[in-house]
Amino acid sequence: MSSLKDPDGKASFAETAMRLGGKTEEEARRTGAVDTADDQVESLFAPQYKTVNSPVHRAVWENHVPLDLFTPPKLEADALNLPALRDSLEVLRKHKKAGTMLDANDKISEKVIEDLGKVGYWGLLIDKKYGGQGLTIRQFMTFLAQVATIEPMVAGLASVHGCIGAVDPASTFGNEEQRARFLPKLASGEAISAFALTEPCAGSDLTALRTTATLSGDHYLINGEKLFITNAVAGRTVGIVCLIDGKPAALIADLPKQENEHFQFIPYGLHAVKHAWNQGLRFKDFKVPKENLLVPALGDGLTVAYHGLNLGRLALCTVASATMKAMLANLLPWAHFRETYGQAIESRELVKRRIGRTAALIAGAEALVAWGSWLLDQGYRGELECVIAKIFGSEAQKEVAIEYFMKTHGGRSFLKGHLFGDNLHDFLAPCIYEGEGEILGMAFFKSLAKQHGVTFFEPVGKALARNNMKTLNPANPLDVWKLRNELIPYTFWYIGKFLAAADKQTVTGLSPVLQNHVDFALSMLQESPFELTQNMVKHQLKLADRQCRIAEMSQRIQDTIVILVTCLWAHQGGDPVIQGATDILCQDLRRKLTGERPTDRYFRQVSKLADLIIEKGYPGMSDIPQADILFSYAKKAPTKEPILVQ
């Protein structure tokens, strides 16, 4: 492993940087382990689909943004016209209408789960060879949005089961015997699944795992605790990440039908995901057949865990888009019904802005899902792209819930039976799921800057160690001379980037309004490498400690990508409401990036968009059920009695 005494060792970039930056041996080792797991996941993908060749990475570091990789084609008209999908929606509508969606514990009922299994719902992402439906990721995500408008938790369970539960680990890392043994049961719903990764001391820091598995004869004996495990139910199947001989490993286990001395649930009150079982798991010499160990061709248990996260992040954005659409569908009737001073509040500019802004955020989330799922289907790893979708979707849902839905409904928001009051925690929790937003934003920056750092800054760091220098002072000629061999490649890169021509690209048929936003995004992306590299030069090996700066730079690039993706997606669809919503979203993001204030013209535009939505609705919203207006009141004629003021 690399160290100050061995600066040219084979440690990962992160580990080398941490060691050279004066971090402890333990922190450097753990950071290196995560970095290694990331490299191992990368190794699963063909060269053209790795992160360094992803659309976002190329858009930032190359001189010409590959717009074709930001333009997903339209989904074929009959892509969702499949029996399993139609029947699943029918099952959900039937239970919703009958009031049988939830059981006595307020959880999705076993009857619903069983009925969905009969029509193929749990096998959507499983190959037909093993009894599944074999959907593409884009088909799955698009359909998941439809499910979420009926019952978000059922969509969430499909994500847990198919994206981060046992389905993806078995499909991707299982051998043929394991796939043949596990996947048919996972497809039929006989064994819907969960994934047990988080522990009391291991959340964002996955290197803090303590649960162990020790081989004893034909079984592994698992000891330890897992926390915050959605779909933790007796008799279900769970993927468990634990330590075997000190190294992370992944096992697939069937939980017993009831608790015993070797296995217990850890119950706790949890406000979020309240319609699904979320519990801790305690293992004491819990037996799992040794044949259930997943052995990736490269990597270990962290590789297994990391692989499914991108699907889960994209599914989170999918459900968020549907949830925001449901909020908009329930905001419009209230805005029409509620009057102030004799006028419906839908006529008020402030409420119109809320309607328009909600539509804008829905458009952004839908665009990111269409784009991200298309890329995954093409074979891309999609790490950077799915992180953007997760962060945008979760933050947008929070904004719509608090700033627009709650504030427009006022005190009624907190009534039992109100969409907001009954689901507040589920609207907020996605900001934490699949990686807390700002922490994930720093991981985004790390992946984006990694190759640049390895190519230009790691040699400088190692040269500093060889010369017993703590930092490089670019203004000191002696420092520059000592590191001249390492600095020359960087200098040529910088000059080449500085002299590159402006990236001007015209999209055929794109409206002037959206083209203007695309031009802005291209300009921002061409400037972004300078900001990134200048901060790497300024902070050098201490950059990892500048978490706020990293998060801020990361968010600026994410916002720029959202502008680009949403414009190109809206152009493909051609819907005037979506194009109007996209314009509003892009204006909002541009002001965030430039610090400008909204103009009166902007306020007129967002009001005009709201009027269009009030008249025609938002695409795909017509089938969403609308809840009753709670504490409604009869509209009375104005009284002729004098108003007494005390």
Burial 602-628 (b: 16+ CB within 10 A, else e): beebbbebbebbbeebbbbbeebeeee
> Confidence class of residue 19 from pLDDT cuts 50, 70 and 90?
low
So what's the pLDDT on residue 32? 67
Domain ranges of the chain: 193-294, 303-437
So what's the pLDDT on residue 3? 34
pTM given for the model: 0.92
Pick the residue with more confidence: 18 or 125?
125
Rounded Cα–Cα distance for residues 304 and 292 (Å): 14
What are the residues whose beta carbons fall under 8 Å from the beta carbon of 474, sequence distance 6 or more?
Answer: 480, 537
So what's the pLDDT on residue 285? 98
So what's the pLDDT on residue 634? 63
Two tokens, residue 211: 């649960």
Q: Which amino acid is at 527?
A: E
Going by C-alpha positions, the residue among 281, 293, 223 that lies closest to residue 253 is: 293
3-state secondary structure of 590: helix
Q: Which amino acid is at 136?
A: T
Checking if the pLDDT of 30 tops 70, the result is: no
Rounded Cα–Cα distance for residues 72 and 566 (Å): 11
**Fold category of 303-437 in CATH:** Butyryl-CoA Dehydrogenase, subunit A; domain 3 (1.20.140)
| Percent helix, percent strand, percent coil in the chain, to nearest 5 | 60, 10, 30
- Give per-residue pLDDT as tens, 425-440: 999 999 999 889 999 9
- Give per-residue pLDDT as tens, 160-179: 999 989 999 999 999 999 99
Q: Which amino acid is at 246?
A: G
Going by C-alpha positions, the residue among 425, 371, 351, 290 that lies closest to residue 570 is: 371
So what's the pLDDT on residue 163? 92
Two tokens, residue 349: 């500019």
Q: Which of 14-23, 340-349, 558-567 has the lowest mean pLDDT?
A: 14-23
What are the residues whose beta carbons fall under 8 Å from the beta carbon of 157, sequence distance 6 or more?
Answer: 108, 113, 192, 230, 231, 276
Place of tokens 């061995």: 6
Rounded Cα–Cα distance for residues 169 and 249 (Å): 12
Checking if the pLDDT of 17 tops 60, the result is: no
So what's the pLDDT on residue 101? 97
**Fold category of 193-294 in CATH:** Butyryl-CoA Dehydrogenase, subunit A; domain 2 (2.40.110)
Q: What is the dihedral of CA 68, 72, 75, 79, to 10 degrees?
A: 100
Q: 107 with 277: CB under 8 angstroms?
A: yes
So what's the pLDDT on residue 201? 81
Q: Which of 7-21, 55-69, 77-91, 402-416 has the lowest mean pLDDT?
A: 7-21
φ, ψ of residue 120 to 5 degrees: the values are 95, 10
So what's the pLDDT on residue 160? 95
Q: Are strands 263-266 and 278-289 parallel, antiparallel or unpaired?
A: antiparallel
Per cent of the chain over pLDDT 90 is 78
Q: What is the dihedral of CA 225, 316, 393, 620, to 10 degrees?
A: -160
